[in-house]
A = this chain, B = another copy of it.
Amino acid sequence: MWKPDRQSQKPLYEQIADHLEQKISYGEFPPGSLLPSERKLAEQLGVNRSTVILAFAELRSMGIIESRSGSGTRVSQYKWGATPRHTPNWKRYAEGGSFLPNVPFLRRIREALSQTPSMIDFASGELSGDLSPMNEIAMLMDEHHYTSYLGYANPQGYIPLRQALVAYLDQYRGIQTTESSILITSGSQQSLFLITQCLLSPGDAVAIEDPSYCYSLPMFQSAGLRLFRLPVDRDGVRPEDIRTLYKKHRIKMIFTNPNYQNPTGTFLTDERRNKLLEIASELGLPIVEDDPYSLTDYEGEFCPPLKSVDPHGNIIYIGSFSKIVASGLRIGWMVAPHAIVERLADARQQMDFGLSVIPQQVAAQFLISSHFEPQLNRLRMQLRYKRDLLIEALQKELPGLIQYNIPQGGIHMWCKLVPEVNDAKLLEEGIKKGVVFVPGSVYGSDSGYVRFTFARAKEEDIGPGIAAFAEALRELIK
């Protein structure tokens, strides 16, 4: 006799529901017939009665069986007539797969933003329209007549864009590389996805900063990785922690965002950079350097990435247009050993067959155009201005209720709340008052923090947004 499989990942009740559905579908229990009682079935299958109750509930919700109190559970007449027909159980398919859903807070924020267009947005990690060079891009597109061949593109990315990036990386990032070591991706996001899916295996241990953007990505768990924390203090991560994690867990890769980190705004000190590189090369450990923010340094200073001083080739470098030009272009890049680039380009063919040629052409043109440098200068000034507006508002609206370090670059401000409040309640209260932000717990293990992104909101909304936040916070502590 059939028994549910206790080793299976599929819950017992679902296995039982499937099994009964099959029996019914093949006529072993004809329409209108009586099923065994819950108690009896539980005994036969060697499971708890509550498991059978769940299985029956599932079948009931699909309209396959009906229960009437006192007269037991029967196969439905309606659905299972002479020629039974039914719709797939789409809900169950939607719950399947190995891919975890996004963090509930982030889904809730997206929902609130789409329901209320006037919502003040301190949550989305992107530039407002006026910070993006939309007119310049439109001008370039007008000038250029796009009649090139639109076949499947080069798997590693459009060659002129890779050429433009070689010059860009040299000039702006101090990185010497060649076209063949560059992979064009759909933003840093796809670079991270490819690395976690294709270079690591389920069960592998990796080190990520805490707090970190990476914690907001169920992607790491979906890939079955074991995550270990590198706590971030005022000066970034402590490199010695890596040695400890390596000894204890044999970590296989380190993910870091050393320049104006998301969410803390921290800049890793020189001393720690050197130490980090030393330890990684001593252990032969790859570092993934995710670097979307370094060109936003408000003083316009050159912030050398780790990759520019990587004597032993330990670093996979990730860059993106999202935080300096426009996130909607979906253009990012990765610099890595050729064997890695080739492997990832190959796997990517199976996922999406590569990026559209058009945004790659636009990005290449913008990068070599005379608009790029002025865009950076304007962006830096305006980001600093927005940061100052935010600080002013925080000082005015929340004196004594909030603590922070002042970031010198990037688009995020990481704030510790002095009163203890519940993250979920605070977010809901904020939404009621017309403002969204990201509860700090999304980014890792610390609670009692909030991330305010100041790049997305309009200048004139920053003050009122923080006033609304202050009202929400006071609501919870009164």
Contacts and interface: CB of A to CB of B under 8 A. Distances in A.
Nearest to A107: B346
A97 interface: yes
A417 to B, nearest CB: 27
A300 interface: no
A399 interface: no
A275 to B, nearest CB: 13
Q: Is the interface of A mostly helix, strand, loop or mixed?
A: loop
A310 to B, nearest CB: 10
Interface string A78-97: 00000111111111011011
Contact of A97 (B132, B134, B198, B357): B198
A385 interface: no
Contacts of A330: 352-356
Interface string A213-245: 000011100100000000000000000000000
Interface in A125-150: 126-127, 129, 132, 134-135, 137-138, 141-142, 145-150
Copies in the assembly, this chain: 2
Nearest to A277: B85
Nearest to A362: B358
Given A199-B96, A337-B90, A25 B283 contact: yes
Contacts of A8: 203
Contact of A359 (B110, B346, B359): B359
B147 A134 contact: yes
Interface stretch (A161-169, A187-195, A256-264, A445-453): A187-195
A379 to B, nearest CB: 14
Interface in A1-53: 8-10, 18, 21-22, 25-26
A441 to B, nearest CB: 18
Given A152-B327, A250-B22, A349-B102, A96 B312 contact: no
B197 A350 contact: no
B326 A286 contact: no
Given A187-B352, A201-B10, A219-B350, A328 B284 contact: no
B250 A93 contact: no
B328 A357 contact: yes
A284 B86 contact: yes
B150 A132 contact: yes
A276 to B, nearest CB: 13
Contact of A350 (B202, B218, B347): B218
A281 B352 contact: no
Given A148-B134, A326-B151, A359-B358, A193 B350 contact: yes
Interface string A266-308: 0000000000001001111110000000000000000000000
A282 B27 CA distance: 12
Contacts of A312: 85-87
A255 to B, nearest CB: 14
A21 B284 CA distance: 10
Contacts of A340: 90, 93-94
Interface in A304-341: 311-314, 326-331, 337, 339-340
Contact of A313 (B87, B313, B328): B87
A419 interface: no
A476 interface: no
Given A142-B142, A151-B126, A201-B9, A356 B359 contact: yes
9 contacts: A9-B203, A85-B312, A86-B284, A88-B286, A93-B286, A127-B151, A189-B352, A193-B350, A219-B351
Given A187-B353, A330-B353, 8 more contacts: A86-B282, A137-B146, A150-B329, A189-B351, A193-B352, A329-B357, A330-B354, A330-B355
